[in-house]
Structure 1
Amino acid sequence: MDYSKTAAGVLKGVGGEENVQSLVHCATRLRFVIKDDAKIDKAGVKATPGVITTAEAGGQYQVVIGNDVPEVYAEIAKISGLGKAGEATGAQDRPKGNLFNRFIAMISAIFTPLLWALAGTGLLKAFLAAAVTFGWIDTATTTYVVLNALSDAFINFLPLALAFTAARYFKANEFTSFAIAAALLYPTITPLVGAPDLTFFGIPFTMVSYVSSVIPIIVIVWLQSHAERFLYAKLPGSIRRFVTPMIVVLLGVPFVFLVVGPLSAIVGGWLGSGIGWVFSTVPWLGGAIMGGLWQVFVIFGLHWGLVPLFTLEFQTTGQILLIGPVFAAVLAQAAAVAGVWVRARNKNLKSLAAPATLSGFLAGITEPAIYGINLPLKRPFAFGIVGGALGGAIIAIGGVYSTAFVVPSGLALPALFGNGNMLLLALGLAVAIAVPFLLTVIVGFKEPAEDATIAAEATDVEVLSPLDGTVVALTEIPDAAFADGSLGQGVAIQPRSGAVYAPFDGTVVAAFPTGHAIGLRHADGAELLIHIGIDTVKLGGEHFALKVTSGQEVKAGDLLVEFDGDAIERAGYNLITPVIITNPDLYPEVGSAAAGPIAHGETLFFAGAVERVLAGK
C-alpha cells in the first residue's frame, strides 16, 4: 500500500481537512467526525487504493483500512492538522445525537490508544499461563515472577493509562488525572480493601479495589474536567495553575473513595453476576449470541460498547467468560474466507482471499475478509455467523474463559488453555472453523466470473513542462538510477529559470521539506516526480522555497517551488532536472516527448496508459 496516496485520497474524499471535526483510529479503521456529510465523496473514498470499505456508525464516518491503518493515520497527520499521535477525540468534538452513539464514541476514543498494549501484554500473560498449565515453568522461580509482572502490570495499573486517555477526551489536565489514578492504587491504600471501620474525617466508607478498574477513573476525570474549567475561570491567574490541581485532587480522590468507587463496585458486581448467571444457566444462549453476532457488532462499531464489560468482568471475577465465544466468531469468518480461497475461480478473488485468511486466523483482524469478500459475496458471511454461533455455544457450555484481555485470534488461543472444559473448547473451535469452511466450499457462492470483469481503457496523460529550459534525454543525466530509467521513464530538463510549475491538474502527494523534489498525481492516476538537480537533497532546503504542501490540489501552471539556480550551481550541484513517471505499471510508456528549448506550460510528453482491468461488482 502507498500510505501517502491512500491518506491523500481519503482526506480529499471526506471533503478535506476543513470538513473534519476530529479523527482517531482503532485497530482497522479511520474514524472521522464530519462537519457536513453532504461534502463526502463516498464513492471516491471507497475507490481509493488501500480502502477496504466505509461504514457510518456511532456518529462517525469510518474508513476501513485493515492492518495498515496506523501508517495511513500517520500520513494524514503529516499532510494536515488532524490526527496527533496518541490523542483521542476531544469531548467537544464527539458526534452529536443520541446518548448511545455518544457512549460508543467515548469508549472507542478512550480505549483505542490502549488496545494494542493491552492485547500484547495479555497475549504474553496467556502464553505464560499456558506454560504453567503444561508444566514448562515453575511458579516458584524468579523467572516466573519477572514474566508475570511484566505481563500483568498493564492490566493491573489500567486506571493510570485510562487517566491519560480520558483526560485527552474530556480535555482535562492529564497529570492531574494521573495523580488521582495513582492515589487509587497507592501502596498504603490497596491493603485497606475490605478492611472494617474505615473513616474519612469521621465519615465511614468502604474501600473497594481499583486494580484493573474502569468506571471510577473515567467518571472522576469527567468531573475533573468540569471542575478545572470552573476553577480556572474563578481563580486569580497568579495561583490557579497550582491551586486548581490541589483542589481537584483533594476533593476528587475522597469523592471516589466515598461515592464513585462503592457505586461502581455495586454496578460491576451486578454486571459480573449477570454475565455469570447467563453463562451458568443458559450458557449456550450467551455463547451463541457472542459467537454469532460479534462480527455484526464489529460492522456497526458496536463492539466497543462491550470492551468495558470485559474489563469489568475481569475486575470482579478474575476471568472473562464473554471472550471465549468471540474466538469462535473470529475464526469462523476466517474459515469462511478460506473456503472462498479454495473454491473461487476468479484469480482476483483468490488473491484477495489468501491474505485475508491469514490475517483472520493469525491476528484476528477480520475486516479485510468481511468487507472485501464475505459481505459482498453474502453467503460466506452468513456461513461465518452460523459457524460462530454454533462454536460459541459449545465453548460457553464448556465454561471456557480467559484470564487475560486478548484480541481473539489463533495466536491468542493459549489465553483459554486450562480454563474450563478443553474438550468442548476444541470441539467448539473445530465446529466454528469446519462449518463455514465446508458450507462455503460445498454450497458455494455467486462469484464474479472472469469474463464479467470490466475492462477500462485508461487515457493517456498530457504532461506539460514544469520548467523553462532545454529538454534532454534521461541518458544524459549524471546519475545512473535516473539515466537507466530504473526510477521511472520520462525526460530531463536543464532549467534556465528558478521556478517549477504544476504540469497538470492533480494532487501533491509528496512535497519534500527540502524543496528539492515534488511528487504529483494526475486525476487519471499517473504519478510524476520532479527532481530539481542531482544530489540537491544534501543542501537541506537551502536555496529552495516550497510553495505547496502534501495533499494539496493544484492546477496546471500553479507555482510549486522556487529555487536559486545560480546559488545551487555555485555550491557544486548539477541543476539537470528529471521529470519521470513513477507508476509504470499503469503508465509504462512515454511518447511524443519534446526536444530542445521549452517553456513551462508547453507539452513535454504523453504518458501512455495500459489497459486497467477492474473486478466487476
Structure 2
Amino acid sequence: MSTEPTDKNRATAAAILPLVGGPDNVTSIAHCMTRLRISLRDRSLVQDEALRALPAVLGVVEDETYQIVLGPGAVARVTPEFEALVEEGRSAAPPAAAHPVTADELAAQGAALKEAQKTRNATPFKLMLRRIANIFVPLIPALIGCGIIAGLNGLLMNLGWLPGVVPALAAIASGFMSLIAVFVGYNTAKEFGGTPILGGAVAAIIVFPGVAKITAFGTELRPGQGGVLGALAAALLAVYVEKRCRRLVPEALDVLVTPTLTVLISGLVTLFGLMFLAGEASAAIGTFADRLLSTGGAFAGLVLGGLFLPLVMLGLHQALIPIHTTLIEQSGHTALLPILAMAGAGQVGAAIAVHCRLPRNGSLRATIKSALPAGFLGVGEPLIYGVSLPLGRPFVTACVGGAAGGAFVGLFNQLGIAFGSTAIGPSGWALFPLLDGTSSLGVTVAIYAGGLLTGYLVGFAATYFFGFTRQMLTDLNTDPDPDAPDPVTGPPKEPALA
C-alpha cells in the first residue's frame, strides 16, 4: 500500500513544528473543521510569515489559541501527525540544564504574557461561546455524512428509485440525529471538566421513549423534547452536581455515591424542569426563524449575509452551531445556513476583483489563486486573513456582496420558497448536496445558485469600483509580476532578435 498521503501529511506537520517554536513550545493541540489549534508557551517564537509561506498553510489566525488554517480534510490528517512529532520531540529532547532565573528574564516573561493576554482579549462572553462551540464542532463530520445520506434518500424517494434501499438509507441518516443529545451531553461534560460518560447518561434521559409516561408542568413529556439545548443544560447541571459531590463526599464512598447522586439529581431536574423549558426555548427558536424569513426575508438575509464575515473574523460563527442543530432537529434542515453561506460568495467576488485591480502585485495574486478553490467550497479564512482583511476596504465590500446574496435567498423565503441545509459545516458549492426545501430540488438548487452568483457579482463590482483608493492602488501595485500585463501598455513585448 502506498504511504504517499501519510508521508505528505507528516511532511506538513514536520514543516509546521519548528516554525511554532518546536515541541517544547506547544502545550496543547486540537483541531476544528479547518484549523489546527495549538496553545503556546512563548508566542514570540512563532515565525508567522514562514508559516504563511508553506504551501499547505492557507492562513494563520491569532485568537485564544494559535490557529493554522489547513482546510477541511487536510487538518484531520495533519493533526495526528503533528501530535506524534510533538511527543517524539519531547521524549528525544535532552533535559535542560538548570540555571538561575534573573529578574530581567522574569520581567521579560511577564511583559510577554501581558502582551499575549492583551492580544487575545479573552472576555468571559467570548470564552463561553468558544466552549459551547467546542461541544458541537466534533459532531460536524457525522452531521455532514448523515445530512448527505438524508438528501440522497429524499432524492431516491421523490424519483421512486430503489424502493428497497430507501428505508435503509433513512435509518442510516436518522440514527445519529435520534441520539445526538447523548453526544452533546458527553462533549459538554468533557468540555466543562466533568466525567463525560455521566454527562451522556443524563442527556440520554431526554431521548428515552419512557419519558412519554411522565407529566411535567401539566403536560406529558415527549421523547427528544428539548433536544440539544436540553442535553446541554442537563450535562452542565451534571458537571456542577458532580464537582460538588467530589468536594463533599468522603473519598472512600466517592466511587459509589458521586455517580449515583449526579445522575439522580440531574436526571430528576431534567425530567421535571429542563426538558420542558428547553423544549419551549427550542420551539421559540424555530418559530422566530420561520417568522423572520417569511415576513422579512429579504431584509433579514441582507443583515445576516452582511454580518457573517465579521463573525468568522472574530471566530464567533461557531456559536451558531446549537441554533443550526436545533433547527435541523425540528424541521430536517436549517434555513439560516444557505443565507450565511452568501458571505463566502461576497468574499470570493471581492478576491477576484483584487486580483484584477492589482496586476503587478504578484505575491498577492498568487495568494488569491491558491485560496480561491477553497473559497468556492466555502472555506473563507484564507481569503479573509490573506487578502481582504489586511487590505481593509475589500473586507467591507466583500460584506456588501454577502449582504446582496443573502437578500436574494431571503427574498425567496419571504415568497414562500423556503429551503435549508440538512447539515452544518459545508458552504459554497459544497452545500449543494445538502439542500432541502418545500419546493422541487431543481428550484431549490436554482435559487441557491442565484444567490451565489449575486454574491460573486456584487462582491466583485463593489470591490472593483469602491475597494481601493488611488493611494492604495499606487502603493499595492508595485510588486512587478513578469507574467502580468501592464495596465497601460498591455502584455510585455517579446525582445527583438539581433
1:90-128 CA distance string (max 9 Å, x none): xxxxx9942211122202321221122212322332343
1:407-460 CA distance string (max 9 Å, x none): 22313224335436746545433312333345567888746555379xxxxxxx
**Aligned counterpart, 1:244:** 258
Cα distance change, pair 411–72 in 1 and its aligned pair in 2 (3 A): closer
User: What SS does structure 2 have at the residue aligned with 1:188?
Assistant: helix
1:376-410 CA distance string (max 9 Å, x none): 45565444322211111121121133151232231
**Aligned counterpart, 1:170:** 192
Contact 1:156–1:212 at 8 Å: present in 2 too? no
2:280 to 266, 281, 287: 266
**Aligned counterpart, 1:152:** 174
CA distance in 1: counterparts of 2:235 and 2:218, whole angstroms = 24
1:64 to 65, 69, 84: 69
CA distance in 2: counterparts of 1:45 and 1:430, whole angstroms = 33
User: What SS does structure 2 have at the residue aligned with 1:228?
Assistant: helix
2:455 to 425, 428, 432: 432
Cα distance change, pair 417–234 in 1 and its aligned pair in 2 (3 A): closer
Please tell me whether residue 416 in structure 1 is matched to residue 435 in structure 2. yes
User: What SS does structure 2 have at the residue aligned with 1:277?
Assistant: helix
**Aligned counterpart, 1:401:** 419
**Aligned counterpart, 1:136:** 159
Contact 1:130–1:415 at 8 Å: present in 2 too? no
Structure 1 residue 303 displacement after superposition = 0.2
Please tell me whether residue 358 in structure 1 is matched to residue 373 in structure 2. yes
Alignment of 1:579-598 (within 5 A): none
CA distance in 1: counterparts of 2:394 and 2:160, whole angstroms = 42
Please tell me whether residue 224 in structure 1 is matched to residue 238 in structure 2. yes
CA distance in 2: counterparts of 1:439 and 1:184, whole angstroms = 49
Deviates more, 1:68-77 or 1:289-298: 68-77
1:55 to 34, 45, 61: 61
CA distance in 1: counterparts of 2:392 and 2:126, whole angstroms = 27
**Aligned counterpart, 1:101:** 126
**Aligned counterpart, 1:509:** none
Please tell me whether residue 286 in structure 1 is matched to residue 303 in structure 2. no
Alignment of 1:209-608 (within 5 A): 209-210=223-224, 213-235=227-249, 237=251, 239-338=253-352, 345=359, 349-361=364-376, 363-376=377-390, 378=392, 380-399=394-413, 400-402=418-420, 404-406=422-424, 407-419=426-438, 422=444, 424-437=447-460, 446=473, 448-451=477-480
Larger radius of gyration: 1
2:37 to 7, 13, 31: 31
Contact 1:55–1:300 at 8 Å: present in 2 too? no
User: What SS does structure 1 have at the residue aligned with 2:38?
Assistant: strand
Please tell me whether residue 122 in structure 1 is matched to residue 157 in structure 2. no
Read off the aligned partner of 2:141 and give its amino acid letter. W
Contact 2:324–2:334 at 8 Å: present in 1 too? yes
1:330-351 CA distance string (max 9 Å, x none): 2332344455567764665555
Contact 1:184–1:253 at 8 Å: present in 2 too? no
User: What SS does structure 1 have at the residue aligned with 2:167?
Assistant: helix
Normalising by structure 2, we get a TM-score of 0.73
Extract unaligned runs of 5+ from structure 1: 83-94, 454-617
Cα distance change, pair 444–278 in 1 and its aligned pair in 2 (3 A): closer
Contact 2:350–2:459 at 8 Å: present in 1 too? yes
User: What SS does structure 2 have at the residue aligned with 1:51?
Assistant: coil
**Aligned counterpart, 1:207:** 221
Contact 1:380–1:440 at 8 Å: present in 2 too? yes
Deviates more, 1:48-57 or 1:381-390: 48-57
Cα distance change, pair 412–228 in 1 and its aligned pair in 2 (3 A): same
Cα distance change, pair 380–163 in 1 and its aligned pair in 2 (3 A): same
CA distance in 2: counterparts of 1:412 and 1:392, whole angstroms = 15
CA distance in 2: counterparts of 1:98 and 1:188, whole angstroms = 42
User: What SS does structure 1 have at the residue aligned with 2:341?
Assistant: helix
**Aligned counterpart, 1:482:** none
**Aligned counterpart, 2:488:** none
Cα distance change, pair 394–56 in 1 and its aligned pair in 2 (3 A): same
Contact 1:325–1:396 at 8 Å: present in 2 too? yes
Extract unaligned runs of 5+ from structure 2: 1-6, 89-119, 483-498
Structure with the larger strand share? 1
Contact 1:23–1:33 at 8 Å: present in 2 too? yes
1:191-230 CA distance string (max 9 Å, x none): x2xx7xx448xx9665255268222222222222233333
CA distance in 1: counterparts of 2:19 and 2:422, whole angstroms = 40
User: What SS does structure 2 have at the residue aligned with 1:62?
Assistant: strand
Cα distance change, pair 449–149 in 1 and its aligned pair in 2 (3 A): farther
Contact 2:333–2:436 at 8 Å: present in 1 too? no
CA distance in 2: counterparts of 1:56 and 1:181, whole angstroms = 34
Read off the aligned partner of 1:71 and give its amino acid letter. R
- Higher relative contact order (CA closer than 8 Å, sequence separation 6+): 2
CA distance in 2: counterparts of 1:123 and 1:332, whole angstroms = 25
Provide the aligned C-alpha RMSD in A.
Answer: 3.6
Cα distance change, pair 296–226 in 1 and its aligned pair in 2 (3 A): same
**Aligned counterpart, 2:98:** none
Contact 1:335–1:357 at 8 Å: present in 2 too? no
1:213-271 CA distance string (max 9 Å, x none): 22222222222223333334444555533443233222222211112222222222333
Read off the aligned partner of 1:370 and give its amino acid letter. I
Contact 1:126–1:412 at 8 Å: present in 2 too? no
Cα distance change, pair 279–437 in 1 and its aligned pair in 2 (3 A): same
CA distance in 1: counterparts of 2:301 and 2:266, whole angstroms = 40
User: What SS does structure 2 have at the residue aligned with 1:372?
Assistant: helix
Read off the aligned partner of 1:62 and give its amino acid letter. Q
User: What SS does structure 1 have at the residue aligned with 2:165?
Assistant: helix
Cα distance change, pair 403–66 in 1 and its aligned pair in 2 (3 A): closer
Contact 2:184–2:232 at 8 Å: present in 1 too? yes
Structure with the larger helix share? 2
CA distance in 1: counterparts of 2:411 and 2:389, whole angstroms = 29
Please tell me whether residue 112 in structure 1 is matched to residue 137 in structure 2. yes
Contact 2:12–2:56 at 8 Å: present in 1 too? yes
Contact 1:7–1:72 at 8 Å: present in 2 too? yes
